[in-house]
């Protein structure tokens, strides 16, 4: 099969077949790599022939993935996209959205942890913006999770007698402790943001980022609620909840729906948002001051502390 046949308009089927083959090859390699890792950790000697077979098994899918990315990039370039846009489109064609978001989340989690450790300022807060912290509401919960993870790590390290299982479990448990700390750190350094223009940026660490333009905010009020359900799940009434420790303190109603992307890449649309703020009254006051609405006077009575 020639490269021109794959890159041309008539090669869409061939590209799809190649993309499917690469994905399944990489999926099939995961169990083999896990077994190889356990053998290396356990001190098992691996025959040279097996080592070469593993190298070839890894090299071939990587070469195919490189060829596929090049063909997709060329196709998007011929479609009129720039180099960077074509590269992003090629990666979107080859890598599933959930995998891209999980990879990006791990990167953002690490950068947020470094920002927290080095005590740099909050992320995404420009001059004139107002940061709306929310992380303190979950401090006790995160401390409890971290305590359980540390106890589990110590106990399993003491009771597991098998070296290979002991090493793997230790790595997983240590990573679990880091994940809890890094997740809380990402919530600290990535607060909600009220823009200087009255816009609203709702976040939960590195997992969620929702932008609400100022012109779509109809009303805002401080109301404490205890919603049930998953993070940013949209209810039957069109309301999306960004609860912290099971509660929200601010409700924002919109003039028209806002589309956003949920944690694993699924698109959603909401007509209202309920989120948690450490100081709900200050958040409501800042939103009303920067984006006054005709109904601000009628709802002034609920601008104080959450009910």
CA distance 185 to 117: 8
- Residues 90-102 have pLDDT tens digits of 777 766 666 667 7
Mean pLDDT of 26-41: 61
- Residues 43-95 have pLDDT tens digits of 556 667 766 776 676 677 777 777 777 877 888 888 888 888 888 777 777 66
Instruction: Please state, rounded to an integer, the average pLDDT across all residues of the chain.
Output: 80
pLDDT of residue 301: 41
| 83-94 helix and 97-117 helix, angle to the nearest 10 degrees | 110
pLDDT at 178 over 70: yes
Alpha helix stretches (DSSP H) within 133-276: 139-159, 163-189
The conformational region for residue 102 under phi > 0 = left, psi -120 to 50 = alpha, else beta, is: alpha
Give yes or no for a contact between 166 and 41, defined as CB atoms under 8 angstroms apart. no
């Amino acid at each position: 099969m020639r490269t021109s046949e794959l890159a041309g308009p008539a090669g869409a089927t061939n590209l799809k077949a190649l993309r499917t083959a690469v994905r399944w090859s990489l999926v099939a390699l995961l169990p083999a790599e896990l077994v190889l890792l356990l053998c290396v950790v356990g001190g098992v000697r691996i025959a040279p022939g097996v080592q070469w077979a593993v190298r070839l098994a890894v090299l071939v899918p990587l070469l195919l993935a490189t060829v596929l990315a090049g063909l997709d990039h060329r196709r998007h370039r011929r479609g009129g996209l720039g180099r960077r846009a074509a590269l992003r489109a090629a990666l979107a064609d080859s890598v599933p959205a959930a995998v891209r978001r999980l990879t990006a989340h791990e990167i953002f989690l690490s950068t947020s942890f470094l920002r927290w450790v080095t005590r740099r300022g909050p992320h995404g807060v420009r001059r004139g913006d107002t940061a709306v912290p929310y992380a303190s509401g979950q401090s006790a919960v995160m401390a409890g999770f971290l305590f359980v993870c540390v106890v589990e790590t110590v106990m399993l390290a003491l009771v597991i007698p098998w070296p290979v299982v002991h090493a793997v479990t230790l790595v997983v448990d240590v990573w679990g402790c880091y994940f809890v700390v890094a997740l809380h750190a990402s919530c600290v350094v990535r607060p909600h943001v009220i823009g200087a223009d009255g816009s609203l940026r709702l976040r939960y660490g590195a997992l969620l980022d929702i932008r609400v333009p100022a012109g779509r905010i109809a009303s805002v009020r401080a109301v404490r609620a205890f919603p049930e359900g998953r993070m940013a799940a949209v209810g039957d009434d069109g309301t999306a909840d960004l609860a912290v420790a099971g509660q929200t303190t601010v409700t924002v109603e919109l003039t028209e729906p806002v589309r956003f992307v949920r944690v694993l890449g699924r698109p959603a649309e909401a007509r209202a948002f309920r989120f948690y703020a450490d100081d709900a009254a200050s958040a409501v006051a800042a939103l009303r001051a920067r984006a006054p609405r005709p109904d601000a006077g009628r709802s002034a009575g609920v601008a104080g502390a959450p009910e």
